[in-house]
Structure 1
């Protein structure tokens, strides 16, 4: 009966916002998810970041209709001052419309063709190494291997956001095969990082995809040695960081050419860490498979010169993907503090930008040319992004929100411009940090 209902105020909800005491609100109902956090498929980061808030928009973005049935076990009361903004109403209507149209389930034949394509380019790289003695062929094969890693990365990204295969078990097999076995990075690590990025898009202290000190800083706010709440450590802006950031607009592309090495290293650090890693054994076996076949393939090249050349070519081509990751966020709006469940739509549109390209180039960008659409509807198969893009534009226009779309080259110029601005600010000696001899030598006489 109505009189027996328990009502909870927003002030009371906000008090339950820490590990060991997690409450959230979804569509006016309050749920105690304290014990669920360790079993949450998306990890603990989303629940910890959004604890004590209404998270309806984020919930409908990430969860299919079947997930609503699981909420009843955690229900504890009703939010007495529940309010929905006009933006959220329109956003939720879009999600509902897409669900009725079956867009979240209709994946087309893109996955099948992509799998065939990556298998073909992988085989061509391996055959070129084993069947040819020509140095230029071997160099090309290194580039093709890098291109294979890029396209495999897009497939891994898809399979982590929605079920690309016929069953969850087959989908998991595809993740480990594509991610761990063939490209050498941990899908478990990537999902942990990527969930944190999506939930706290472009938060300087909560989004791990912006936390690249000492190499890069997209905002002068990093000069205050912020604390990373994702990694749980201080991002010190010392003399080394100042020196590296001061030239980041020059080092950006060279670093991207070898950025894959960081993914390899992060996989080992993640799997050997003490943190809870779901299906750690599968992840480790997959990584070991990669570090078996790839060194064996490289060893088939006739000399060390060609081996190094092959590896560098594969890393450099893969750098295109790492640049793509940065373009959509480095020059977009940033903020400090935790994500807010009440401005989900606004934060996603302000923190991302789209890359303009013809439809026949969609395969190259892996769907991330529609970064805004992807962040708003992360479960939506990439084959639908171009179709729903006009609807998202109209909604942004209706609520006077930015919808930024640039060509690939314009996005590169804007990213370099952002890095250059921060670099020049880092050189400002009116905010000194302890200097070393290298800093003094490079910056003497300007």
Structure 2
């Protein structure tokens, strides 16, 4: 702890000294029961409050012992409202001689990024076009109705059933995109209506919990591709990614033939993620966390689905249709969401600044009308990760400015063709599997 700040002079009554701290002291407070964060050079003790954090205790705890200024701005849209919660947690400030960032981070890069963010705010790029998202919802509802109409008019033969399953899978994929938007972006001015809309899309149209998804997904945004902080890459021992490959090899761990993971990935990765893993994880979350409202929303999806299709297929046939749709949408989910992340650096916490951490873990896919629609604009993953509360219809406007910033500071702004991005997933799995085998045999 540094020396207390001097009391102000010329103000009459003496001011209460403000405790000041150095980074060496702050770094110590990153334990499960002892957590400090720094935001705009102010030090906050979040040890007891973390469990009440609306975004979940894990999300805010991942920044313990660090400067969380840019993450604070990235996740919160109404900063004046959020600061009311921070005020009682304030315990001091950074000592005058301490830099605003720790661990030799590039101060000029951080300042330039903050200027870029202010520019985006001035250009009103964080304001959502409600009509844009309403059209997406209408598009989804139209496909849901079309799938039922195909069965109603054409019968339950193989051809109409396959067609209906594909249409439903496309609808479910677009639901992922829309609920993802609603989780990040204030589509409606009142946050309450925004959350209700997400519960409707995630619950009634998909059968999942909105709270579960936000709890899981925001961690990914906070620390992308960081083991034990990003749930999307904490997939061992089924798959080994990045640094975990060599670690498992050195420790002689062989739960599966990881040198063949790029092959068995096709059997248990894309086909089963939403059908098995997400279904189990989602249900467990709602029950353990007692999210009864989310459970009712999810149940309404199954009631609607089986009421709509059981008269045509019976119970067993409807279950088969449901499983088919989940498998198809699961393929979309894995390939589209991971083409930007799995081939990038995956490892332990490096305590990078916000922009560097996001760029090391993400890449873009070339823009086209098809890629924009098919991926829900997740082909602009760099812009989405840097500015998660920016509506996707504005990514293409901020992209040139982000690219210019990367050129100025020598950062890699990677853009890939769509098919190459998909194939890089398989190549990355093979590379990690080979690294595991080499370490397993020779270390």
TM-score, normalisation: structure 2: 0.87
Query: 1:367 & 1:83 partners in 2: Cα distance?
Result: 34
Residues 43-52 or 254-263, more deviating: 254-263
Match of 1:294 among 295, 305, 320: 305
The 5-angstrom pairing of residues 18-417 of structure 1 reads 18-64=31-77, 65-67=79-81, 69-70=83-84, 71-80=86-95, 81-84=98-101, 85-107=107-129, 109-135=131-157, 136-219=159-242, 221-222=244-245, 224-225=247-248, 238-241=253-256, 243=257, 245-254=258-267, 255-261=269-275, 262-273=277-288, 276=289, 280-302=291-313, 308=320, 311-337=323-349, 340=351, 343-359=353-369, 361-417=371-427
* More displaced stretch, 53-62 vs 247-256: 247-256
C-alpha displacement at 1:405, in angstroms? 0.7
Deviation at 1:248, TM superposition (A): 2.1
C-alpha separation between the residues in 2 aligned to 1:68 and 1:97? 22
Q: CA deviation at 1:257?
A: 2.6
Distance in 2, matches of 1:397 and 1:173, equals 41
Deviation string, structure 1 residues 183-218 (Cα, Å, up to 9, x no partner): 122222211111111111111332210122233222
TM-aligned CA deviation for residue 67 of structure 1: 4.0
User: Deviation of residue 406 (structure 1)?
Assistant: 0.3
Q: How many residue pairs are counted as aligned between the two chains?
A: 416
What is the distance in 2 between the residues matched to 1:100 and 1:36?
33
Q: Which stretch of the first structure deviates more once superposed, 83-92 or 164-173?
A: 164-173
Cα distance in structure 2, aligned partners of 1:305 and 1:46: 41
Aligned equivalents of 1:148 and 1:118: distance in 2?
5
Structure 1: tracts of 5 or more residues without a match = 227-235, 434-446
Q: Tell me: CA distance 1:106–1:133, structure 2 relative to 1, closer, same or farther (3 Å).
A: closer
How far apart, in 2, do the equivalents of 1:129 and 1:238 lie? 50
Q: Within 1, Cα distance between the matches of 2:439 and 2:119?
A: 54
- Unpaired runs of 5+ residues, structure 2, are 1-6, 10-16, 102-106
CA deviation profile, 1:134-185 (whole Å, cap 9, x unmatched): 5211210011111111001111101111222342222121111111222122
* 3-state SS in 2 of match to 1:332: coil
Cα contact 1:143–1:314 (8 A) shared by 2: no
Is the CA contact 1:144–1:314 (under 8 Å) kept in the aligned structure 2? Answer: no
* Equivalent pair of 1:354/1:371 in contact (CA under 8 Å): yes
**Higher alpha-carbon deviation: 70-79 or 195-204:** 70-79
**Aligned mates of 2:117, 2:167 — CA distance in 1:** 38
The two structures, once aligned, show a CA RMSD in angstroms of 2.5
| Regions of 4+ moved over 6 Å | none
C-alpha distance after superposition, 1:294-322 (max 9, x if no partner):
23444233475686366325522441122
Q: Which moved more, 1:304-313 or 1:418-427?
A: 304-313
TM-score, normalization by structure 1: 0.86
Distance in 2 of aligned mates of 1:149 and 1:293: 14
Q: How many Å separate the matches in 1 of 2:221 and 2:116?
A: 19
Separation in 2, partners of 1:325, 1:389: 19
Residues 12, 5 of structure 1: alpha-carbon distance in 2 compared, 3 angstrom cutoff: same
